[in-house]
Amino acid sequence: QKEVEQDPGPLSVPEGAIVSLNCTYSNSAFQYFMWYRQYSRKGPELLMYTYSSGNKEDGRFTAQVDKSSKYISLFIRDSQPSDSATYLCAMTSDSSYKLIFGSGTRLLVRP
């Protein structure tokens, strides 16, 4: 079993939809949680960075962490075709710099 599980998709939604992307993990020591967006032929771009449990909002993006369920989510409101990309979750513990990544979810937002 992988430490971090993420549905690879692809997830196809119409423009304007609310998108929900999720990851589950097994290591209860993870405290830092990140979402990266990766466009084709580009490196991962940091979208959201949260510590421990709770919600964080930045524009159209909301990150949620539920440590009791070992489950994190990224919500995208009013999705745009420019949001079409692969979304990677990543996490690490207090005592480590090593990021553990999910396999990424491909998102396609149709005009």
Please give the residue ranges that form the binding site for other proteins (CB under 8 A): 32, 34, 36, 41-46, 49, 51, 88, 90, 97-99, 101-104
Task: Report in angstroms how near the CB of residue 108 gets to other proteins at its nearest.
Answer: 16
Q: Which is nearer to other proteins, 37 or 76 (CB)?
A: 37
Minimum CB–partner distance for residue 82 and other proteins (Å) = 18
For other proteins, the closer CB: 44 or 64? 44
Residue closer to other proteins by CB (options 48, 109) is: 48
Which amino acid appears at position 107 of this protein? Answer: L
Q: Which residue type, as a one-letter code, is found at position 1?
A: Q
The residues, ordered by sequence, that sit 6+ positions from 22 with a Cβ below 8 Å of its Cβ are: 6, 7, 71, 72, 73, 74
Least gap, CB of 92 to other proteins (angstroms) = 9
Give the nearer residue to other proteins in terms of CB position, either 2 or 110: 2
Q: Give the chain's length.
A: 111
Please give the C-alpha separations between residue 96 and each of 9, 14, 100, 106, in angstroms, as whole numbers.
29, 39, 10, 28
Residue 15 Cβ, how far from other proteins at the closest point, in Å?
A: 27
On the CB side of 102, how many CA atoms lie within 13 Å of its CA? 30
